[in-house]
Amino acid sequence: MPLFRDEEYLKVDFDEKQEKDEALWVKCKSCGKLIFKKKLQENNHICPNCGAYFFLTAKERIKTLIDTESFVDETKRIESDDPLEFTDLKTYKERLEEAQKETEMFDSIIVGKGEVDEHPLVIAVMDFRFIGGSMGSVVGEQIASGIELAAEEELPFVLISSSGGARMQEGLLSLMQMVKTTSTREILTEKQLPFISVMTYPTTAGVEASIASLGDITLAEKGALIGFAGRKVIEETIGEELPANFQSSDFAYEQGIVDAVVDRDNLRSELAKVLEFF
Amino acid sequence: MSEKKTLEELENQIEQLKQLNSKNGLDLSDEIDKLSDKLTERQKSAKEKLDEWDIVKLARHPDRPDARAYIDALTEDFYPLHGDRLLGDDKALTGGLAKYDGRTVIVIAQSKGGNASESQETNFGMMKSEGYRKAQRLMALAEKFDFPILSLIDTPGAYPGKEAEENNIGGMIAQSISRMITIKVPTIAAVIGEGGSGGAVAIGVADRVVMLENSIYSVISPEGCAAILWNDRENADEAARALKLTAGHAEELGVVDEVIEEGPGAHKEFGTAAENLDKSLKKNLSELSDLNEKELIEARRKKYREMGSYRRATR
Ligand SMILES: [Zn+2]
């Protein structure tokens, strides 16, 4: 499943050194203006000048959505054991170590309990910095156990996707996580608990073609990339250029794939509004 | 002489002896048996030397029988059904009612086509949104009348097209997986050629999953993987080895229950592959028939819940 690397038509910026960088200023990739970092943080990581969305880490996303001090980390203390002993130009082990160091995460997802405007829930948030937010055995297990936690405590489950798809380095086992998460999701149906899927930049390939597309309610963050196959692959196959808005959040909305497109600033209140019905 | 040539030579010799044997009233059966044994042995050791990339080439071999050949050989009275009742009929998916082992079953099969013009028609087994909707329609039919499902997998992947995305192909794959998780009838999936990523798994969730020995099952095509991780499609052979996409590995990973031997290879001799697949399907179907609805679904969900490999975090 192709990871999406083509970011041209999206106004989402991913500043790799955001966390470690000591600099006080950061340059907006969309308008080129220097922005005071603190100001950017206060503004939900949206450029105050041009409105471009900066990439959110899982931790930052949780901060923007969950009521202060209500969050309890429930991420299982597990990591990949490199089942295929996969090597491309680099070993998978090296990639994992680097990603763990950079993100201070076990893998590309954080799961926890918390409240959104006083609505309790279980939330799972993916982090694109960690090998493209890809889903391997660990992510599959974290989503499955997050769903089970929600079921146990009779809470709604919210997934914030930011993933290029299944993780190639774990081969067939990654493909099977599509089935594992989908199968576990059934527990919520049986217990009549809502599953709200929030698609952000990017929600594609194996993640889009499984758990992320199985929400009772599906929201897309403005600027999200939503689709199964990669833009380049499609263009090569059909021999024509695709329109600029193809697979964008607005495209997904027009095609009836998502229920609403929500500005980042409004995502918290929108989630609260939806949860209020259940 | 290359191993391939030696094998061909042996095959020719046996063929010639067989013709002489029937023609001239000579008894050459001892000689034929000897050579046949030798051939089997050489074939076996050649097989052991095949790497993942060799298997990829076999899985895509133009002479490899397509799903319809297996349907014809294994089932009786196949009655194809057409259309998803909304968008159209996806010919990449052959599906319908059939008699198998004395009972009615639903067949869901990705068909690459048996020749060039058929392949055009079936889009090389690359399903679109309507194909996954058609599959779900057939699953619903199976559940309603308590017909087991036989699913044959052979696709490079779901079709990467504009309309497919407009028609939410990812969502259709997700729904197809979901349907196969909750379905109340026995399900068996067989990978007979290429098991290409999400497009394959969408009809591959089953109580029993078997795989022909010269087929592949992978999270991504070796070419796609090479393009991303090696920045060059030319490294597809390396990617194939790294992805460990063969039947034996799939069995080790616990994804596939059984590897079906093909003898000389389905592309050379269809009979052995078809016969062995038939035996396996019958055995599995009979075992699954002993389970009630609840047992079936519980076992299936437990199997997929446990899939994956990880360890306690070390830091
Ligand atoms: Zn800007």
Distance CA B153, CA B194 (A): 7
Residue B145 resides in a domain: yes
Q: Which residues form the domain of B248?
A: 55-305
Mean pLDDT of the residues in chain B: 95
For testing contact with chain B, the best of A161, A176, A199, A211 (most B CBs within 10 A) = A176
B7 & B83 share domain: no
DSSP B220: S
Q: Answer whether B171 sits within 8 Å of A233, measured CB to CB.
A: no
B184 & B149 share domain: yes
| Other C-beta atoms lying within 10 Å of the C-beta of residue B223 | 18
Name the residue of chain A whose CA is nearest to B315's CA.
Answer: A106
B82 & B205 share domain: yes
B95 & B14 share domain: no
Q: How large a percentage of chain B has pLDDT more than 90?
A: 84
Residue B204 resides in a domain: yes
- Residues of chain A contacting B307 with CB distance shorter than 8 Å: 137, 140, 173, 176-177, 179-180
B31 & B153 share domain: no
Residue-level pLDDT at A14? 38
Residue B172 resides in a domain: yes
Residue B119 resides in a domain: yes
Buried residues in B253-266 as b, exposed as e (16+ CB within 10 A): bebbbebbebbbbb
Q: How many CA atoms lie within 13 A of B262 on its CB side?
A: 24
Q: CB-CB: which of A89, A171, A256 is closest to B229? A: A89
Question: Does A214 have pLDDT greater than 50?
Answer: yes
Mean pLDDT of the residues in chain A: 92
Residue B275 resides in a domain: yes
Name the residue of chain A whose CA is nearest to B306's CA.
Answer: A180
Q: What pTM, to 2 d.p., does this model score?
A: 0.91
Number of A–B residue contacts, CB under 8 Å = 206
Residue B50 resides in a domain: no
B138 & B184 share domain: yes
- Residues of chain B contacting A184 with CB distance shorter than 8 Å: 305
B136 & B226 share domain: yes
Ligand 1 (ion): residues with CB under 5 Å are A 28, 30-31, 47, 49-50, 52
Residue B310 resides in a domain: no
Q: How far is B311 from chain A (nearest CA, A)?
A: 6
B208 & B289 share domain: yes
Longest dimension (CA), chain B: 78
CATH number at residue B111: 3.90.226.10
Q: Is B129 helix (H, G, I), strand (E, B) or coil?
A: helix
List, for residues B51-75, the tens digit of each pLDDT value: 999 999 999 999 999 999 999 999 9
Burial (CB count <10 Å: 0-12, 13-18, 19+), residue A232: middle
Q: How far is A25 from chain B (nearest CA, A)?
A: 32
Q: What is the mean pLDDT of residues B140-160?
A: 98
Residue B313 resides in a domain: no
Name the residue of chain B whose CA is nearest to A141's CA.
Answer: B308
Q: CB-CB: which of A170, A178, A180 is closest to B305? A: A180
Question: Does A16 have pLDDT greater than 80?
Answer: no
**Number of domains composing chain B:** 2
- Residues of chain A contacting B173 with CB distance shorter than 8 Å: 209-210, 213, 228
Distance CA B180, CA B166 (A): 24
B248 & B157 share domain: yes
B167 & B259 share domain: yes
A21 confidence band (pLDDT: 50, 70, 90): low
Distance CA A6, CA A230 (A): 9
